[in-house]
Amino acid sequence: MGMTLAEKILAAHAGLKVFPGQLIRVPVDLVLANDITAPIAIREFERIGVRKVFDRSRVVLVADHFAPNKDIQSAEQCKVMRDFARAQQLTHYYDVGIMGIEHVLLPEQGLVLPGDLVIGADSHTCTYGALGAFATGMGSTDIAAAMASGQTWLKVPQTIKFIYHGQLLSWVGGKDLILHAIGHIGVDGALYAAVEFSGEAVDALSMAGRFTMANMAIEAGAKAGLFHVDEKTRAYIQPRARREYTVYESDSDVAYARVIEMDASQIEPQVAFPHLPENTRPLSQVNHVPIDQVVIGSCTNGWLEDLQVAARVLAGRQVHRDVRCIVIPATQTIYLEAVRQGLVETFVEAGAVVSTPTCGPCLGGYMGVLAAGERAIATTNRNFRGRMGHPESEVYLAGPAVAAASAVLGRIGGPQEV
Amino acid sequence: MLKGKVWKYGDNVDTDAIIPACYLNLSTGEELAWHCMENLDPAFAQEVQPGDIIVATTNFGCGSSREHAPLAIKGAGVSCVIAETFARIFYRNAINIGLPILECPEAVTGTDAGQTLEVELETGTIRNLDTGQVFQAAPYPPFMVDIISAGGLIEFTRKELTT
């Protein structure tokens, strides 16, 4: 019996032949935390009683959630992280000016490569699976232990395989495929499992679209969302990689826990209704839903390509006067490129605002918090009750094309309607 | 032996329900406890008593990796969470910080809000004192027992690295 991509990466790290359900101790390639999870991780690290992190070039800290600091407490939390990064002389500490949203920043900086095993104190760490790495989110205490030991424990997951046949319709992207998948299997449909995405529609996706899909694997409860390495992956990695890496492939005779085949040509742009990402509907079945705010950004859809899609929709048009439209490039590099390509000009002329990179509104932190009764459509990843602010506000999830079109329409709608 | 009154919730109690993100600028269980379950059940933080037990159906703790969620529950004095299933990261976090959690679908079905449960963690035995019913939770894998008996992951790691 062959092994899946996830099993091969875990086996290579554990130095064992592994099987689903097995508990293993494994060395990790990279350990990540951010300004809300690092302070607890640092507090717990200090209780362990070792002086230094296991490898100062393999612990990555990013100030992105409440940075630039939203209030005094957030400033204190960032300071805890900053002081620790300096004391430990961490190679990869990203503060305001060089920081970006962690899950876009790390691949962009070449810190995650195919075959890596990465753990991060953030649930969307699974994003890196788009590179053929095994990456999974954990809590602060797990990260503290790994910062000290360079190891973690894992249960080897079963793998669920999604195969997308056919070609994507226009304005349909990675976000629509993953929302559709979550709608199909539910928010716990992949609990404890790894998810593997394949098929010609997925092969046709850009890296940004693949990162978006891997990013939201957690919204189906998955431990990891993985893609195989192809020419697009290599082209993305090539200018960034500063060390050797190993490409793994699933064997052909693998016993998947489940194989789900989809005809991608039948998948419309998707919208997830409140208050769960599984409440998806094709755009054609969305009735009149007026909105107050649009957010285009986040670790899910803050990639340059997402901004390009939004700009194509917004160019020469105006954001509806009852709507606040907030655009957030995920990293400084993407921001600068958006300036150079004239995207920022397009957004500002349309009446949107463009923010410095931050997770801010996605989790109701700041930079676009909703009042009671308000409704937003966002390219973010969660629409739980109160996620973007008041518990009586609502968040609808969609890709950048639908979000940008909705900003113009003042209600949820698609690019063909503007 | 743990004993407490039951707070019962449904499927997919997410981490934003357990502790809204606007409070993630706090990091101790005591501070976080004041806002525990705020978006789902505003009465919880006001009325929860030390030892009380949360009982929920499937996928409890889904969403974010924020350890603030189990910290808030532990800080509120909750002695144990029993669910049909837990979201993966929440499960790890709870074990790591020493918040007892048990998977037991039968106990969830057989328990109503406001009833009193008695839980014996060592054996996984759950007793509903109102109905007299007894339930048996799934045992922890041996590796996890090592972490729990060390007093949490930090103590486990300290032992490993410093001895």
**What domains appear along chain A, each with residue ranges and CATH number?**
5-261 (3.30.499.10), 270-417 (3.30.499.10)
Mean pLDDT of A227-238: 98
**B89 and A123: CB-CB below 8 Å?**
yes
Average pLDDT, chain A: 98
B20 vs A contacts (CB less than 8 Å): 364, 386, 391
Mean pLDDT of A336-359: 98
DSSP character at residue A199 = S
Instruction: Report the C-alpha gap between A226 and A131 in whole angstroms.
Output: 8
Gap from A141 CA to chain B (nearest CA, Å):
6
Residue B72 touches chain A, beta carbons under 8 Å: no
Q: Describe the crossing of helices B153-162 and A140-149 by its angle, rounded to 10 degrees.
A: 10
Does B111 have pLDDT greater than 90? yes
Residue A259 touches chain B, beta carbons under 8 Å: no
pLDDT score at B139: 83
**Which residues of B, range 101-140, sit inside 8 Å of A by Cβ?**
none
Mutate: best of A53, A191, A300, A369, partner B, most B CBs <10 A: A191
SS3 content of chain B, % helix, strand, coil (to 5): 35, 20, 40
The Cβ-side half-sphere exposure at A181, using a 13 Å CA radius, reads 34
Does A82 have pLDDT greater than 80? yes
B14 vs A contacts (CB less than 8 Å): 382, 384-385
Burial call A229-264: b when 16+ CB within 10 Å, e when fewer? beebbeebbeeeeeeebebbebeeebebbeeeebeb
Among the partner-chain residues A122, A141, A369, the one whose CB lies closest to the CB of B154 is: A141
The tokens describing A49, both together, are: 């009683």
Gap from A77 CA to chain B (nearest CA, Å):
7
Among the partner-chain residues A65, A139, A387, the one whose CB lies closest to the CB of B89 is: A139
Residue B28 touches chain A, beta carbons under 8 Å: no
Mean pLDDT of A67-93: 97
Q: Which amino acid makes up residue B125?
A: T
pLDDT score at B101: 95
Does A134 have pLDDT greater than 90? yes
Q: Which residue of A has its CA nearest to B64?
A: A123
Question: Does residue A358 contact residue A68 with C-beta atoms inside 8 Å?
Answer: yes
Instruction: Report the C-alpha gap between A159 and A310 in whole angstroms.
Output: 34
Taken as a whole, chain B contains a residue count of 163
Residue B127 pairs in a beta bridge with: B118, B134
Question: Does residue A38 contact residue A45 with C-beta atoms inside 8 Å?
Answer: no
**B160 and A149: CB-CB below 8 Å?**
yes
B97 vs A contacts (CB less than 8 Å): 139, 141
Mutate: best of B13, B19, B59, B64, partner A, most A CBs <10 A: B64
- The pLDDT tens digits of the residues spanning B59-74 come to 999 999 999 999 999 9
Question: Does residue A267 contact residue A168 with C-beta atoms inside 8 Å?
Answer: yes
Q: What is the complex's ipTM, to 2 decimals? A: 0.94
Instruction: Report the C-alpha gap between A326 and A378 in whole angstroms.
Output: 9
Q: Confidence band (pLDDT; 50, 70, 90) for B110?
A: very high
Strand segments (E) across A22-146: 23-27, 30-34, 59-62, 92-94, 117-120, 134-137
pLDDT score at A178: 98
B22 vs A contacts (CB less than 8 Å): 364-365, 369, 389
A370 vs B contacts (CB less than 8 Å): none
**B88 and A276: CB-CB below 8 Å?**
no
